[in-house]
Amino acid sequence: MTEDPRDSRAAMLRGLVNRCPSCGDGRVFAGYLSVVDHCPDCREPLGAYPAADGPAFFTITIVMLLLIPMIGYGWVLFRSDPLTLLIALAVLTTLITLVLLRLVKGAFVGYLWAHHERDRGA
């Protein structure tokens, strides 16, 4: 079975900004992280592309890579109390994670769509 080739870069960029990877108009998310069953504009079955734990894994990796320099710069530049630095970084890390998770999940759904990685019920 041959499937039509899809531009994964464009699909990931569309998913990143909460747009349907197929048409670029409809929304990917119904809420914060719930993927719509079908694109409201082109009826593409976006709910058939299960992102599972992939977006969480990539988000954790990105946040951990950002956290290390934030600890270093926060310590060197502000010379703050360690408890204050800990609390500030905990809040900042939580906010960054919540923002990145949605962006990464949208891009992930776009990637899965571009590579025809549908849920096969396995």
Q: Is 107 exposed, middle or buried (0-12, 13-18, 19+ CB in 10 A)?
A: buried
User: Least distance to Zn ion from the beta carbon of 6, Å?
Assistant: 13
- Closer residue to Zn ion, CB minimum distance, 11 or 101: 11
**Nearer to Zn ion (CB atom), residue 20 or residue 74:** 20
Minimum distance from residue 110 beta carbon to Zn ion (Å): 11
Q: CA 114, 13, 107, 37 torsion: positive or negative?
A: negative
Residues that bind Zn ion (CB under 5 A): 20, 22-23, 26, 39, 41-42, 44
User: Which of 40, 54 has the CB closer to Zn ion?
Assistant: 40
The count of other CB atoms within 10 Å of the CB of residue 69 is 9
